[in-house]
Amino acid sequence: MRTLFDTTRIGSITLKNRFIRSATWESMADQTGRPTRQLVDLYEGLALGGVGMIITGATIIVPDPTGLPEMLSIADDRYIPTYQEMISKIHRHGVPVVMQITYVGRGGTWTTPTDLSEIELRDLARTYANAAERAQKAGFDGIQIHAGHGYFLSQFQNSGKNKRIDRYGGEVSNRARFILEMYDLVRSRVGNDFGVFIKINCGDFEDEDDRVFETCRYTCNQLSERKIDGIEITGGAGNGLPLPPRGKYEESVLRDYAAMIAEEIETPVMMVGMNRDLILMSELLEKTKISYFSMSRPFIREPDLVMRWKNHQEHKSACTSCNACRKQEIIRCPFRSVPEKMDT
């Protein structure tokens, strides 16, 4: 019987449990996109707290990027040495770390699928592959391609947002094409022993017939056939990241989407979205083929949540998803009893 505290392997990566810190915008990089001491301390605290794997905040891959304030960067080779100390500190505690890479736009403008020509898309695919190679050279255990939350890659899946009339728009196989071509290039550059993951929207939940889940299922099946290491199912787009109506579920709200994908593919499926109930996650692990549970806000409130669960399974997550953590100058929970370290 599978348990949440199993030691498992995803490709070449060993995890000491099934809990993953999902990528979170921390607003803790410096003005050049390099990790501050504060961010290194945050990641080391998560590792000490017992998490099975850490996925970094979204990391930009181009110079002059559009994005959120104080995002990490891996835009050129000069960034490679800046991550080595951080990775070493995380690895010291037996925890793998994966860099999430993303593209939003350039020069203050968010890019949409119709903004780039086919030649520019091929250039961007090479940019993703370059970033993956840099992450590998820096010592990360893998990269995660961010294809969720309304960002550039996510928009290709939505039939209402992807207005292309060439081979990258229209039918489902076309809407998935750029992600698949880019993945193939990334894999060819980093080899089979380096972790490659994707975080992908199962729905934008803004319009009823955006056909996002249709594209998600197709893309996940294709990526599984290509031997991607792991797929994290997420959802929501825009500033509020709308999720399915709370009427059906209060916890693990994307469970039906993730379970359906997991049933269809061999690749391990991770699920994010209101995962806070240990008993429920244990039941989902037993009754579905979902393999891992990703969390963001609960770890902002309690970085040692996994250790607390391991020692006291009756412990309830203190996070109420109030989003007060996103209203600070940096992403931190104002209700934590132990303050964040503020030195940079």
Residue 153's closest CA among 109, 92, 111? 111
3-class DSSP assignment, residue 50? coil
Query: How far is C-alpha 144 from the geometric centre of its chain's CA atoms?
Result: 6
Question: Are the C-beta atoms of residues 224 and 231 closer than 8 Å to each other?
Answer: yes
What local confidence, expressed as pLDDT, does residue 97 receive? 98
Can you tell me which residue has the tokens 């030649």? 119
Provide the residue type at 35 as one letter: P
Mean pLDDT of 164-174: 98
Question: Are the C-beta atoms of residues 57 and 71 closer than 8 Å to each other?
Answer: yes
Q: Using 50, 70 and 90 to split pLDDT, how confident is the model at 178?
A: very high
Q: Which residues, in sequence order, are bridge partners of residue 109? A: 106
Q: Whole-angstrom Cα distance, residue 159 to residue 293?
A: 29
Mean pLDDT of 36-62: 97
Tokens encoding 20: 């993953």
What local confidence, expressed as pLDDT, does residue 242 receive? 57
Q: Using 50, 70 and 90 to split pLDDT, how confident is the model at 43?
A: very high
Domains and CATH numbers, the chain: 8-327 (3.20.20.70)
3-class DSSP assignment, residue 300? helix
Q: Whole-angstrom Cα distance, residue 235 to residue 201?
A: 4
What local confidence, expressed as pLDDT, does residue 340 receive? 43
Provide the residue type at 52 as one letter: G
Average pLDDT, the chain: 93
Mean pLDDT of 328-338: 80
Question: H/E element holding 126?
Answer: helix 118-138
Q: Whole-angstrom Cα distance, residue 265 to residue 56?
A: 25
